[in-house]
Amino acid sequence: MTSLNILITGASSGIGEALATHYAQQGHTLFLSGRNPERLDRVTRTCCKLGSTCNGQVIDVRDRKAMERWINNIQQANPLDLVIANAGISGGTGGESGNRDFGLDIEIFDTNLNGVLNTIHPALPTMIQAQKGQIAIISSIASLVPLPGAPAYSASKAAVRFYGEALAAKLKSSGISVSVICPGFIQSRMTQANDFPMPFIISASRAAQIISRGIECRKIRIDFPLPMVVAMKLVNLIPSAFRRDIFSQLPEKHSHKKPLP
């Protein structure tokens, strides 16, 4: 198997960590980022023990200049074959109905949308020049339906889904493939904050296997698990007024983290 240079953001936990471990076992060279130094160091050391050349960088994907410097430095010595824009945060309304935390909403959009742009665009010039490369963007099943319990999360993931699908068509002639991943509930630190039923939830390691297989096949959309995808698409067939009434009875998603000062 040919060794690839792979960059993964949000690699210190959840899907990002599972993907890093998965690709490390295959001997690829990894460039990982995260905001938590201790967790990122643990993941980096694990990947090195698995036989991968692994480099960790504590960085915030919202910092456009820092991301540009980091990725440009990588590209100069190790042109990237695959960039996985995975970093993201979750959150609900931040409190009781009518007490919406707009600071958290802004942070969610900044991380989930701008963080994706800050990750993929510094990598694209080298890929376009070489006429090869892959971009993978982690969206969510939540992008398929406007969820009132997590409006900012749902909308931000819908934005990156649309952006990624449009980018796939735009870059096709450049030899670059783009995959948009829409997972359902995954066992992770993010979903640990949920105190409501999470149907069809799967492990992060299983999600990494599905995602990597889809990326390898250069699929434009990687949606899973199938029962959850079908359920969400059926919900979209319900008239908006009835859907609103149904959704108003659902529990709100608790904030995964507090907004930064």
Phi first, then psi: give them for residue 216, nearest 5 degrees.
Answer: -60, -35
* DSSP annotation string for 36-102: -HHHHHHHHHHHHHTT--EEEEE--TT-HHHHHHHHHHHHHHS--SEEEE--------SSSTT---H
Distances (CA, A) of 4 to 83, 158, 235: 11, 29, 40
CA count, 13 A, side-chain hemisphere, 157: 25
Q: How far is it, in rounded angstroms, from Cα 216 to Cα 227?
A: 23
Q: How far is it, in rounded angstroms, from Cα 203 to Cα 162?
A: 26
N-terminal to C-terminal alpha carbon distance within the chain: 46
Place of tokens 């009835």: 242
Cis link prior to 122 (omega < 30° from 0)?
no
Q: Is 23 in the active site? A: no
Q: How far is it, in rounded angstroms, from Cα 138 to Cα 116?
A: 9
The active-site residue out of 23, 70, 153, 224 is 153
Within the chain, how many helices (H) and strands (E) appear? 11, 7
**Active-site residue list:** 153
